[in-house]
Amino acid sequence: MERLRKAEWIHYANGELDTYIKFVNEQIFPKFVLAKRGYDFSPSRRSSRGGMYADGPGINMAMYHYCKNYTGERLIRVYEYKSFDSSSTIGGFYTKDKYQKLDMVLLHELAHAVQYYAYRINNTRCKPHGPIWKNIYKRLREEFLNPHLGDQVALKTEYDDDVASITKRRKSDIPVATKKELDALFARAASKT
Ligand SMILES: [Zn+2]
């Protein structure tokens, strides 16, 4: 990805994070600091992470996968973890907004960073996607993402129609091989053995 486009995405992500952290400071933990923000654009980096780093709570984002496909408006289904993907507050969704998939992962990973901070402050522990994390993530989602999601029923209908028309088109595009062509292919395959 070219440098200018990378810089734009990083600029966007940093702006979002600043807003989210302000909310965390005002509503949850006044002294929470995000000590590390990593943006990894390598295509091989598939998953993002949030948690405790050497310098304190931090996140590291697998940026390539949120940014690579956006050349124009496109309706996509964004998936959350399978166990809560169907949740209306912390689950996946349909969107045409080029930033909302990234927003979701920023909120998800920031919630992990805050969770580890909470462990330290409250001297407690729980599962990575357990009640402490879910509570933080839900508050962040309801503040910053859910109110901005489009009409999910309408978007789902449109998405399903898109999928159906693509499937139909693919089927009719595939030319049916004639017997003569198949015989030729099999003969070629046989001659190689
Ligand atoms: Zn997670």
Residue-wise pLDDT for 17-48, tens only, equals 999 999 999 999 999 999 999 999 999 999 99
- Cα of 39 from ligand 1 centre, angstroms: 17
How many Å apart are CA 108 and CA 15, to the nearest integer?
A: 16
- Cα of 4 from ligand 1 centre, angstroms: 29
- Cα of 191 from ligand 1 centre, angstroms: 53
- Cα of 12 from ligand 1 centre, angstroms: 21
- Cα of 127 from ligand 1 centre, angstroms: 10
How many Å apart are CA 46 and CA 23, to the nearest integer?
A: 28
- Cα of 106 from ligand 1 centre, angstroms: 10
Residue-wise pLDDT for 116-144, tens only, equals 999 999 999 999 999 999 999 999 999 99
- Cα of 81 from ligand 1 centre, angstroms: 8
- Cα of 101 from ligand 1 centre, angstroms: 14
Question: In Å, how far from its chain's centre is CA 49?
Answer: 12
Query: Which residue, among 64, 56, 55, 59, has the nearest Cα to 17 in the 3D structure?
Result: 59
- Cα of 57 from ligand 1 centre, angstroms: 14
Sequence-ordered list of residues with C-beta below 8 angstroms from that of 166, at least 6 positions apart, any chain: none
- Cα of 105 from ligand 1 centre, angstroms: 9
pLDDT reported for residue 49:
96
CA dist 179 to 157, 176, 187, Å? 40, 10, 12
How many Å apart are CA 36 and CA 54, to the nearest integer?
A: 9
Cβ atoms within 10 Å, residue 120: 11
Residues 26, 32, 35, 38, CA torsion sign: negative
DSSP string of 19-75? HHHHHHHHHT-TT----EEEEE--TT----EEEEETTEEEEEEETHHHHTT-SS---
Selected residue with higher pLDDT from 169 and 108: 108
- Cα of 181 from ligand 1 centre, angstroms: 51
pLDDT band at 73 (very low <50, low <70, confident <90, very high): confident
- Cα of 108 from ligand 1 centre, angstroms: 6
- Cα of 119 from ligand 1 centre, angstroms: 16
